Amino acid sequence: MDFSSVFRTHDFLEDAAVSYGFKKKGGVFTLESALPETDGLAAVVTVHGREMTVSVVELPDRVPYALFEVESAEGAFVDRVRQEAENLVRDVVENCFFDSDVRSRLLSYVKERYGTEQENLRVIYKDYCTLREHGTKKWYGLFMRIPWTSLHVERKGMTEVLNVKADPEEIQRLIDHDRYFPAYHMDKVHWISILLDKETDMDAAKRMLDESYALVEKSGRKGRRKVKK
């Protein structure tokens, strides 16, 4: 059974996995764990690259328990086997993976603090979502999944960034081309791109979201005062 979808939001921690009980051979990590109340069955969890699969074998001969792989198989016993295997997977994820889905945690933060609901862009930009300040309806944040090369980093694959508005002097102070970059696809004087991954300083990211919200809100107040004049 394939559980590779965990890698969409989590990173595998090799040292933690070995401490948990995984055996490493080459680049493959394998864990065999007996399943409670299943009459001698064990789950075999295999992690290789960004793939995680689970199979079930009969001990002591390690013969595959075929019904585990048959989606249409029903019955109290096979349901029990699946439940215990899923319990093991949840425990493995909790102890051997890091929740790297920083976007979801920051979205929860702005929803709770400002009542902001994310706005997804057109299908062509399905990995983008925006945050709007309540009064002005202007953006104060933009989440994007972009190629590393868009940040002028010589690295294959994609990465996650958050664009926020900031004071120009702070932008110049922060940019290090490691965690902070000139704003991708936006005004580089007033906006900055923050790299989002397992090393993200969440307190700093939240502070910069707060500052961005305040700057956009302030610009709206100035605009309303000019209209009144």
pLDDT band at 188 (very low <50, low <70, confident <90, very high): very high
Supply the pLDDT for residue 146.
Answer: 86
Q: Is 34 helix (H, G, I), strand (E, B) or coil?
A: strand
- The whole-chain average pLDDT of the chain stands at 90
Supply the pLDDT for residue 137.
Answer: 93
Q: Are 183 and 152 in contact (CB under 8 A)?
A: no
The least confident of 8-12, 37-41, 52-56, 92-96 is 8-12
Supply the pLDDT for residue 186.
Answer: 94
Residues, the chain: 229
Supply the pLDDT for residue 160.
Answer: 86
In the numeric block, the tokens 């093991």 are attached to 88
Say if residue 7's pLDDT is above 90: no
Say if residue 227's pLDDT is above 70: no
Average pLDDT in the 89-113 region? 89
Supply the pLDDT for residue 157.
Answer: 73
pLDDT band at 224 (very low <50, low <70, confident <90, very high): low
pTM above 0.75, yes or no: no
**Comparison of pLDDT for 153 and 163, the residue scoring more:** 163
Average pLDDT in the 134-144 region? 94
| Structure tokens given for 150 | 């868009």
**Comparison of pLDDT for 222 and 229, the residue scoring more:** 222
Phi-psi region of 63 (alpha: psi -120 to 50; beta: other; left: phi over 0): beta
Q: Are 163 and 151 in contact (CB under 8 A)?
A: no
